[in-house]
Amino acid sequence: MAKFPPVDEQMRILMRGVDFGDPQTSKHMEQELRMRVAESFAQGRPLKVYCGFDPSSPDLHLGHTIPMRKLRQFQDLGHDVTFLIGTFTGIIGDPSDKESARKQQTLDEALGKAATYAQQVFRVLDPVKTTVRYNHEWLGELSFTDVIRLAGSFTVQQFLMRENFAKRYDKGDPIWLHEFFYALMQGYDAVALETDVQIGGTDQLFNLMAGRKLMEAHGMRPQVVLTFPILVGTDGLLKMSKSLGNYIGIDESPGVIFTKVLNVPDSAMRNYAELATRWRQEWIDTRFAAIEQGDLEMRAFKRELAWEIVSIFHGDEAATRAAEDAGRMHAGEAPSDAPVFMLDAPQSLIDLLYAAGMVKSKGEARRLMEQGGVRIGGEAVRQMETTVEVKPGAETVLQVGKRKFLRVRHPNPA
C-alpha cells in the first residue's frame, strides 16, 4: 500500500494558485478534492491526474508550464500523472480563447509537433513517473453514433453562453459547427482516462466541466477540476501564445529567456512571479513591498526573476552565466555564447552581416542600418558604405537589434 503525506499537507500544496474566478465553484472543488485526497490517503491508492496540451506549435512555452508545475506537485506527492497530448483535439482547434476559428491541421502535422512536446515536458515532469498519452488513440476510434450520443449531453444555448462564442454571435461572425465538438472531445478524454483530477487554465473551465458531465453520463464519478490564472505574454497584455509571438519557449537558450524576461513590462511582473517561479508567496509579497517603498528597483527585481526562470529550465550555472551576459549586452558587449566570424580582409558591413547569417538578406541589413539597429562597438552605424576590418589578435563586436551579437576576429593571432 502506497504511503502519502497527510491530507492537510497535500491540500496546502495542491490548492496553492488555484483560481476559478468564482468563490462557490472554488469552495465546491476544494471540498471534492479534499474528499478524493482523504480516500487516496486511507486506501493507499494514488489519484489519476492529467492535463492536456494541444500541439498547435512545435514548442512548449512558459505558459504551458503553469499547469505542468501543478502536475509535478501531484507527482511529488505520490499520485499518477498523465501528460496528454491533444493529437486529435489539436486537429479541431480549441476555441476557448479565440474570437475567430483556429486554422485546422492534419493528424500528421499534430503528431510532428507532438514529438517535441514529448521531449520538452521532462524539463518539468519526472520522466520515470510520467505517462505520456495521445488522444487520437481513442477519439479517432469514435463512430458518428458515438459523437451524436456525446452531443446529446449538451445544448446549443450552453455553448452560446460562452463569452467568445457570444461575442461572435452578437457581431454576426461565423461560429463553425466543428468548434462545438472541441469541448465534447476534450470532455471525453476524462472518460477514456477514468481520471480523478484534471488541471487547466481558467479559460478551459467550460471544457473541464464538460468532462465532468460526460463522466456522469457514462456512470462514472465526475472528476475534480483545478484551474489556474493565465500567464500573459511578453507584451504584458495578451495570453502567451506562439501564434502571437509573445512567448518564452522553455527550450530556448538561457540568454534568450533571460533577455525576454527583462523586457516584459513592469505591470506583468507579479503575474510572472506568482505563476512562473518556485518562490513562496510570502517572499513575492516582500519583494513587491520593497519595490513600492523604493528599497528595490524594478530592474533589479526583473534580474532576480529572470535568473529564477532560467534556473528552473537550465540550472543555476546557466542562469548565472545568462545574467552576466545580459550585463555585457547592456553595456554593448557580446555575450559569452555569441558566434565568431573570421575576417582576414576588409569587407562591406552589409556583405559581412549577410555572410555571417545575421540577416536574411542584404536588403534587411540596409533597413536595419537606416533604423539604427546595427552597432559596431556599441555605436550605431547608418553609413551604407561602411567596411569592417580586423587586425590580427583584435576583435570587433557587431550588434544587430537587441539580442544578436557577432564577434569578428582575424584568423591569425597577434
Q: What is the pLDDT of residues 247-295, one digit of tens each?
A: 999 888 898 899 899 989 999 999 999 889 988 888 999 999 999 999 9
Query: Are 199 and 285 members of one domain?
Result: no
- Residue among 381, 382, 377, 379 at smallest CA distance from 394: 377
Strands 404-409 and 395-400: antiparallel
The C-alpha atoms of residue 236 and residue 356 are separated, in whole angstroms, by 33
Type of residue found at 153? S
- Answer yes or no: is 245 within a domain: no
User: Among residues 300, 330, 360, which one ends one of the domains?
Assistant: 330
| Domain identity same for 61 and 34 | yes
Radius of gyration of the chain (CA): 25
Report how far residue 152's alpha carbon sits from residue 188's, in angstroms, rounded to the nearest whole number.
13
Contact 56, 243 (CB under 8 A): yes
Name the grid cell of 178. Answer: 466543428
Count the Cβ atoms, other than its own, within 10 Å of residue 386.
14
CB atoms within 10 A of CB 108: 8
The grid coordinates of residue 146 equal 458515438
Residue 326 counted as domain residue: yes
Q: 2 lies in a domain?
A: no
Same domain, 382 and 307: no
How many domains does one find in the chain? Answer: 3
Q: Do 322 and 376 belong together in one domain?
A: no
Residue 233 belongs to some domain of the structure = no
* 154 within domain boundaries: yes
- Return the CATH number at 371: 3.10.290.10
Q: What is the pLDDT of residue 298?
A: 93
Distance (Å, whole) CA 124 – CA 201: 17
CA separation for the pair 387, 408 (Å, rounded): 12
Q: Determine whether 189 is exposed, middle or buried from the number of CB atoms within 10 Å of its CB (0-12, 13-18, 19+).
A: buried
- For residues 2-32, b (16+ Cβ closer than 10 Å) or e, as one string? eebeebeebbeebeebbebeeeeebeebbeb
**Among the listed residues 69, 82, 83, 84, the one whose alpha carbon sits nearest the alpha carbon of residue 14:** 69
For residue 55, give its domain range.
7-228
- The CA distance from 99 to 237, in Å, is 16
Which pLDDT score is estimated for 245? Answer: 83
Please report how many Cα atoms fall inside a 13 Å half-sphere around the Cα of residue 167, on the Cβ side: 9
**277 and 163, same structural domain?**
no
Q: Choose the final residue of a domain: 302, 330, 358.
A: 330
Long-range CB contacts for residues 364-369, cutoff 8 Å, separation at least 24:
368/400, 368/401
Digit-by-digit pLDDT tens for the chain (414 residues) are 678 889 999 999 899 888 887 888 889 999 999 999 999 999 999 999 999 988 877 778 899 899 999 999 999 999 999 999 989 988 886 665 444 445 667 778 888 777 888 788 888 899 999 999 999 999 999 999 998 998 888 888 888 777 777 788 788 887 788 888 888 899 999 999 999 999 998 888 888 999 999 999 999 999 999 998 889 999 988 888 877 888 999 888 898 899 899 989 999 999 999 889 988 888 999 999 999 999 999 999 999 999 999 999 999 999 999 888 887 666 556 666 678 888 888 888 888 888 888 888 888 888 888 888 888 877 788 888 888 888 877 778 888 887 788 888 877 776
> What pLDDT is attached to residue 94?
62
Do residues 292 and 179 both lie within one domain?
no
| E strands in 57-151 | 80-85, 130-134
Same domain for 115 and 209? Answer: yes
Dihedral-angle region of residue 40 (phi above 0 means left; psi in -120 to 50 means alpha; beta otherwise): alpha
Answer whether 346's CB lies under 8 Å from 410's CB. no
Q: Is residue 246 one of the residues assigned to a domain?
A: no
Specify the pLDDT at position 198. Answer: 96
- Cell for 218? 457514462
- What CATH number is given to the structural domain containing 76? 3.40.50.620
146 and 210 part of one domain: yes
Q: Looking at the structure, tell me whether residues 38 and 75 fall in a common domain.
A: yes
Here the cell at position 385 is 558604405
Residue 283 lies in a domain: yes
Q: What SS3 class is residue 375?
A: strand
Q: Based on the domain organization, do 214 and 118 belong to the same domain?
A: yes
Last residue of a domain, one of 310, 330, 350: 330
Question: Tell me, what's the pLDDT at 223?
Answer: 96
210 and 277 housed in the same domain: no
Considering the domain architecture, whether residues 217 and 258 belong to the same structural domain is answered as: no
Phi, psi of 141 (to 5 degrees): -95, -5
In a domain, 379, yes or no: yes
Q: Retrieve residue 174's grid coordinates.
A: 461565423
The CATH number of the domain holding residue 324 is 1.10.240.10
The C-alpha torsion from 135 through 140 and 146 to 148, rounded to 10°, is 90
